[in-house]
Every structure is written in C-alpha cells, then in structure tokens.
Amino acid sequence: MSPSATTELGPASGPDVQLKPEETPTHKAPRQHASHEEYQYLDLIRDILEEGEHRPDRTGTGTYSIFAPNQLRFRLSDKNTGKLILPLLTTKRVFLRAVIAELLWFVAGSTTSTPLTEQGIKIWDGNGSREYLDSVGLSHREVGDLGPVYGFQWRHFGAEYKDAKTDYTGQGVDQLAEVVHKLKNNPYDRRIILSAWNPADLKKMALPPCHMFAQFYVSFPKDAPTKADGSKQGTLHSILYQRSCDMGLGVPFNIASYALLTHMLAKVCDLIPGTFTHTMGDAHVYCDHVDALKLQIERVPKDFPELVIEKSDDDLSIDGWRVEDFKVLGYDPHKGIAMKIRRTDYEVDLILHENPNLHPVDLAPYVAQIAEDKWDPKTDQLGYDQDATTIDRFIHEHQDLVILIAAENYARERNAGMSQISDNSAAKNCITVGACGSTRSNDGDRYDPNPEESSTNKAVSSADTARFSSRGPTKPSRDPQGQIVFPDRIKPDVVAPGVAVLPAASRVVSLYDRVRERDGVSSDTDWLFMSGTSMATPLVAGCVALIREALQKNGNQHSSAALVKALLINRAVNYSSLTGAGYDHESGFGRVDVSSTIAMISRSPLSGFVDGGNKLESSSVYDVSALRETLTTAGTWESPAITIFEGRHKLVATLVYPDPPGERLQNNVNLIVRAGNSERHGNMGSEPGFDHTDNVERVIWEDLSSKTVTIVAQVQAFTRVSSEQAFAIAWSIRAM
C-alpha cells in the first residue's frame, strides 16, 4: 500500500467518501472553484445558510446547521517552493495572536483563562466568569478556572483534576509527548492520537471540548526527499474531528490552530508539513451571525500567508514555544467582521435575576392587560358573568386604570355568524381587543363566513378581521321563555394587527417552542412569529401608552381610562361601516389608528375632548363636572357651539363612561350631536332612537354642512338617583 503523496491531495479535492453524494442528503458535491482552498469554508457556510436546519441550541440563540458536511482540507506547504503555508482565512481578519496564544496555552497544559486575559485575549473570559461557572455548577472554582479542558487532557489525561493551580507534573497520560515520540520513532503507527474527549471529566469542564480528537499520519511518497542520514523525510498529515463547529467565530480559529499545531509537530519531528483535514459534526451558523457571514461569503479570498518558524533546529521540543517564534508573512485579509460571541444560559439567568420585574413587562398602573381562556367552544358562550362583574367593579373603582382584554381566538368558519365574546371580554369598562391582519404576508387567517363557497385566497389584510378573532356581540340574556330581556352589547371594542406579529419571545418558553414554525420562522430566537388577539392586545397597550404620553405633553397628567378609550375609539376605523353606524360585530368600532388619535390630542379648533368628573386632574379649561341627575333635572353636559368653516365636513364624536358593574347599563347616558335643525345619536347612524345597551357611543356624521355643532351627553336614566357619573367625550372634525 502506498501512502498518498502531498501533491495528490490537491486543493479542494474533497474527501474520498464511500457514499455517493445523492445518498447522503447532508453532503453536497464540492463546488468547482478554480483555485482557492478558502472556498471550501465559504461554500460550506453558503450550504448551511441555504439548506441548514434551523435548530434551537444551548445558548438560546438558534442556529442553522448541517451534520457531517464534506471535510475541508488545507495544504500546509508548497511542494515547489518548500514554503510553509498557514491557512488563515483572508475573507475577514482573524485574530492570529489569539490563535497562537491559545494553542501555546493548550500545549502548556494550562486550564485557567487568566494568562490569556493578561495578554489581552478574552476569548475564554465568558466561560471562566463567576456567573458562568456558577451556572454550570462549578461555584467552587476560582474565576478563570475552566476545569480539565484541552490542555489538561492533552498533557495529563486520566489524572485527577483538583484545580488550575495544582502542579500535575508526572500525573496522567502526556498524550502530546507520546504523539511526538511516535512521530519520531514509529511513524507508521496507526494510533497517533490526541483526544480531549474524556467522558469521566466532562462534568468538571466549563465547556466540553469541541475540537476533540486528532490523528496524525506520516506519509512517505515515492519522491520523498532523503535526509542527511540517508533516511527518507516523511510528510505529516493531520485530521481533526470537531463535534460542534461555530462557523463564524470558532472555526477560523480552529483551522489556524490545528494547522499551527501540525506545523509545530512537523518542526519538532523533522517532517514536512503536509495537509490538515477538518472533519465536522454539527457545523452551524448562529442566527445572529447570518448577516455578517452573508457579507463574508461574497468576498474573494486572497493568498494564504506564509509561515516562518523562527526556532533553531537544535534541542527542539514541543514545549517552551513563544508567540514570537511564529512569523506570518503576507497576510493581507479583508476587513474584520464583528460577530458576537454567544450569550450563554447564565446571562439569561443573570438578566432575570437582576431584573425580577422584567417578565412580564408591567405598565401598571397606567395600562394593564388581562388575557384568560375561559370560553369553552364545546359548551356554550358565557354571558356577562361574575368575571365581567369583577372587572367592571374594579375599573369603576380605579377610573385611571386602562384595562385591555383580549377578545380571544374562538371564531371559526364553522360557527360563522355566531358570537364568541364571553365572560372577561364581555365587561363594559375594559377595552376588548380583537385581531386584524397585518401588512406582513400571511395566509389562512381571513375570516370566511361562507367556507363552502370560499375562494382560495385567505390572506388577511390589515383591513380584515382575523379568522380566529372572537366575534361579538356579547351574549344577550333571555328569560325562561327565550325572550331577550337584555340585548347584546357591541364587542370587541377595537381590533389591531394580530396576524403574523413578531413579538419578543419570553425565555420562559422552551427554546424548541420559540423556534418552531408558526406564522414564519424568526432568524433570531429572541423573537417569534405569533398570531392571536393576545398579540393585538399588547399592541393596543403600547398605543395606550403613546396616547398617555401625548396627553401628558398636552397638560393632562392624570387622564381617565374613559378618556383614553374615547380617544382611541374616536379614530378607530371600521372598514365595513365607514358611513353607517360605524361599528359591526367583527371589529367593533374598528382598527385603531394611533397616529390619528395622537394628532387630535393637541387641541385644534376642530378637535377636542372633555374628561368630565375626573377628580385626579387638577385643572384644565376643558375639564367639566361629572353628570348628575336629580329628581327634577336630567344630567346634561353640552359643549360650547363649535364653529365649522366653509365646506363639507365629517364629524366623529365618541362618548365613553365607566358604568357601575352589572349586566344592564346602570347609568344610561346618550351621546347627541346637534347641527342646525337635525341631530344624530350615538351608535344609531341616522336612525332617530337611542342606544340603551352600550356605555361606548359614537356618532359619525359625514357631509356635515351646518355652521355650528354642539355635542351633548345626556343622562337617560340612572339606576341610583342623585348619583354621579364621570364621562369622557372626544370629537374630531375634518374637511371632506
């Protein structure tokens, strides 16, 4: 059997695999590039980005990964010139001093990161920090003490590890010395192995070895040169098995490191450096390295640099090397590319530990959000029950607190036309939020009242209510004969985008769950695609915070929840009832339009609001008292005459008031808009009657041509005579 010669292992020749590429889906036929060996690395990254599996990982980042890709093979010397080659990647600057220092640190058998840190090399700092060691159960270790990692296994395999300070001279197996001995004395040995994988010690290590198993091979090709003593000079080849390969950060280091180790051994053993072959198990690209690597793979590699080892030939040992012994000539890489070293579990713990209030994000007392699954589609829709009562009482007693409740996701094609609003979301005083589509592409979530006749286009736009979003109205109450004694109420109040939303992922959710495909796959596991009214609800909570901010800038430091709700609903758009009563049972008063709401807050002559009976606000021109009904007079608030200039206008006015708890309206207040000789009533369109069911009323009056308008809140009936009722009205007028 003749060993293969250096020259036969051409650049990018690929491995001599037994299986044909098509039989192993993770293997790709090597691309045919004219020359540069660096393309093996770049092509592997391209394959991972194109075909890698998106997987969760220990660090919580997520990776794209391929298992057992083609080996990479690098030549370590130029047969023609005899010059040594260092495969140091050129498509980004690799921190060579750190690579050399780390290698010498392994060779020295050191297991503490401190000497590296002292040289300004921080690559092991993350794994040696107090927090990290504590997180992997190594609290008894000093900072920097990584346990029996590479250096210890290379030089003292099998010795009992105490700590990084102990002198282990003479203990355990010095694998590296044995490798040198065999290369010198028994070059045909098939057992020239360096293994860092020691199962008995894994638990004591800060990080189990990634580059874990190397084998060396001395080849004697036919044309091998003859040495002074008449023997043939061998050529040294090495192969590395690396179980876990961080393509962006670790692998450029690992390639250079094992190439250098092979060069050192060749020098010490008087061998010609041949090739380094890199075998990978899990070859991965961290999700947050994707952009950097996409940039890198577009670059054109330059020549690998030349290595010169400045060490005299006498008394050569594998020990005692210094960084200065290596000279690298002609390294002219492209610019460095920053890639983050991955956050590890301990950092997540740390964040949670240091910020106990971080999860859940809590905006109380200004905004609170409740979402609870209570409605059972198999039984029946719940009406206004104990939960709704509790919520309404709470809000009535805390009138500055905005409570948002997700309408829930119980609508289905099969019960089209039915309503699903129940218990919590049936409360009068909260803001019940349904979901509409978003501008992000999505499919399958358009509400389809007639599934049998449905078209195939199910994408849902931001003007459509999402298929799943629970429909209103609330359940009417009936007497034993089935007669409606109290009709249904308008719910949800508003909708907001809740399809294919990309919210921050809670780290309480398992990593597997965070990266699984839902409405799309996020490339960053801190974010995930989700749909639901519980996606729409926080979005409205954010809108409420913005509205509060705008109100505060306007001088309203402590506005009531009713005012916030009135402002929000006043500018919400119901796409199916633009000119009618302005509401329906899919999206309530419509999709929120927060910028439009904010625009109306700085009072212009054509928009305004009152926060009637708000005792928390100190003083403001527009502040008015609460409505009060006595035995002789009905409570009324009437705005000053609002002057409208030339032309046709559209007026929208909204009344919201915190009604005391109870299924029926306790205090029935109506909204009336008067213009010239005609008037419109809340929620009635152009009909003459009044709404006796809802404590949210809106008037949309298109084509208003009168010169003056007045807006009126009028008590129709109070359950308790002489009681007081706070109320908020917001209005806006626009030229048509």
Q: Which range in 37-45, 247-255, 313-321, 582-590 contacts ligand LAUPNLSC by CB under 6 A?
A: 247-255
Q: Per the structure block, which two tokens stand in for 374?
A: 């209570």
What minimum distance in Å lies between the beta carbon of 205 and ligand LAUPNLSC? 10
Output the six-digit token pair for 406.
Answer: 């997700």
Nearer to ligand LAUPNLSC, 245 or 567 (CB): 245
Cβ(204)–Cβ(161) below 8 Å: yes
User: How many residues contact ligand LAUPNLSC, by CB under 6 A?
Assistant: 11
Cβ-based nearer residue to ligand MHF, 292 or 599:
292
Q: How far is the CB of 422 from ligand LAUPNLSC (least distance, A)?
A: 46
Q: 69 contacts which partner out of ligand LAUPNLSC, ligand MHF, none, CB within 5 to 8 A by kind? A: none
Beta-ladder partners of 637: 713
Select from ligand MHF, ligand LAUPNLSC, none the partner in contact with residue 95, using the beta carbon and a kind-dependent cut-off of 5 to 8 Å. ligand MHF
In the complex, least distance from residue 306 CB atom to ligand LAUPNLSC, rounded to whole angstroms = 25
| Distance between CA atoms of residues 732 and 567, nearest Å | 10
Q: Binding residues for ligand MHF, per CB under 6 A?
A: 94-95, 122-124, 127, 207, 246, 249-250, 253, 339, 341-342
Closest CB 44 distance from ligand LAUPNLSC, rounded Å: 13
The amino acid at 41 = Y
Min. distance of Cβ 306 from ligand MHF in angstroms? 21
What letter does residue 698 receive in the DSSP assignment? E
Contact status: 503 vs ligand LAUPNLSC (CB under 6 A)? no
Q: Which is nearer to ligand LAUPNLSC, 56 or 208 (CB)?
A: 208
**Single residue of 244, 424, 474, 667 touching ligand LAUPNLSC by CB under 6 A:** 244
Distances (CA, A) of 589 to 67, 216, 668, 687: 53, 75, 19, 18
From ligand MHF, ligand LAUPNLSC, none, which one binds at residue 245 (CB under 5 to 8 Å depending on kind)? ligand LAUPNLSC
Distance CA 258, CA 272 (A): 15
Residues 6+ apart with CB under 8 A from 216: 179, 182, 183, 192, 193, 194, 236, 237, 238, 262, 265
Fill in the per-residue mask, 151 to 180: x = in contact with ligand LAUPNLSC (CB under 6 A), - = not in contact.
------------------------------
Residue 623 carries which side chain, given as an amino acid letter? D
Q: Of 86, 99, 159, 210, which lies in the binding site for ligand LAUPNLSC, with binding defined by CB under 6 A? A: 210
Q: How many residues does the chain have?
A: 736
- Closer CB to ligand LAUPNLSC, 211 or 585, in the complex: 211
CB of 185 to ligand LAUPNLSC, least distance (A): 30
Give the separation between CA 547 and CA 611, rounded to whole angstroms: 14
Nearer to ligand LAUPNLSC, 264 or 569 (CB): 264
Distance CA 32, CA 29 (A): 9
The DSSP bridge pattern shows strands 272-286 and 72-75 to be antiparallel
User: How many CB atoms are located within 10 Å of the residue 50 CB?
Assistant: 10
Distance of CA 573 to the CA centre of its chain: 30
CA-to-CA distance for 317 and 325, rounded, in angstroms?
Answer: 13
**Cβ closest to ligand LAUPNLSC, residue 339 vs residue 460:** 339
| Least separation in angstroms between CB 56 and ligand MHF | 14
Minimum distance of ligand MHF from residue 368's CB (angstroms): 39
- d(C-alpha 273, C-alpha 235), whole Å: 6
Q: Which of 10, 17, 58, 557 binds ligand LAUPNLSC (CB under 6 A)?
A: 58
| Closest residue to ligand MHF using C-beta atoms | 250
Strand bridging mode 53-55 / 63-67: antiparallel
- Among ligand MHF, ligand LAUPNLSC, none, the one that 122 touches (CB under a kind-dependent 5 to 8 A) is ligand MHF
Beta bridge partners of 336: none
Q: How far is the CB of 507 from ligand LAUPNLSC (least distance, A)?
A: 17
Residue 111 within binding range of ligand LAUPNLSC, rule CB under 6 A:
no
Q: Which of 208, 281, 520, 685 binds ligand LAUPNLSC (CB under 6 A)?
A: 208
Per partner kind, with CB cut-offs from 5 to 8 A, the member of ligand LAUPNLSC, ligand MHF, none near residue 211 is ligand LAUPNLSC
If the CB atoms of residues 89 and 561 are measured against ligand LAUPNLSC, the closer one turns out to be 89
Handedness of CA 475, 478, 484, 487 (dihedral sign): negative
- In the list ligand LAUPNLSC, ligand MHF, none, the entry touching 127 (Cβ below 5 to 8 angstroms by class) is ligand MHF
Residue nearest to ligand LAUPNLSC (CB): 250
Closest approach of Cβ 113 to ligand MHF, in Å? 9
Paired strand residues for 649: 704, 735
Q: Is the Cβ–Cβ distance between 171 and 156 less than 8 Å?
A: yes
Nearest C-alpha neighbor of 715 from the set 686, 731, 699, 695? 695
**Strands, DSSP E only, in 475-614?**
477-478, 484-486, 494-497, 607-612
Tokens of 687: 């009909």
| Single residue of 207, 266, 675, 712 touching ligand LAUPNLSC by CB under 6 A | 207
In 3-state terms the chain splits into helix, strand, coil percentages (rounded to 5) of 25, 25, 50
Cβ 233 vs Cβ 225: under 8 Å: yes
Least Cβ distance, residue 284 to ligand LAUPNLSC (angstroms): 6
User: How far is 263 from 84, CA to CA, in rounded Å?
Assistant: 8
* Closer Cβ to ligand LAUPNLSC, 332 or 512, answer by number: 512
What is the sign, positive or negative, of the torsion defined by CA atoms of 236, 237, 240, 245? positive
Stretch that binds ligand LAUPNLSC, among 245-253, 392-400, 565-573, 694-702 (CB under 6 A): 245-253
Q: In a 3-state reduction of DSSP, which class is residue 696?
A: strand
Q: Which is nearer to ligand MHF, 339 or 700 (CB)?
A: 339
Among ligand LAUPNLSC, ligand MHF, none, what binds residue 244 when CB lies within 5 to 8 Å by partner kind? ligand LAUPNLSC
Closest CA to 242 of 299, 298, 184, 284: 284
Q: From ligand LAUPNLSC, ligand MHF, none, which one binds at residue 123 (CB under 5 to 8 Å depending on kind)?
A: ligand MHF
Q: Count CB atoms within 10 A of the CB of residue 228.
A: 6
Residues 249-288 vs ligand LAUPNLSC: string with x where CB under 6 A?
-xx--x----------------------------------
Q: Which stretch binds ligand LAUPNLSC (CB under 6 A): 35-43, 242-250, 430-438, 710-718?
A: 242-250
- Whether 210 is a known active-site residue: answer yes
Integer Cα distance of 658 and 563 in angstroms: 10
Establish if 62 lies at the interface with ligand LAUPNLSC (CB under 6 A): no
**Whether 670 contacts 713, CB under 8 Å:** yes
Give the single-character DSSP code of 680: E
- Interaction of residue 432 with ligand LAUPNLSC, rule CB under 6 A: no
22, 63, 691 from 18: Cα distances, Å: 12, 29, 80
Active site residues: 210
List of residues contacting ligand LAUPNLSC (CB under 6 A)? 58, 207-208, 210-211, 244-246, 250-251, 254
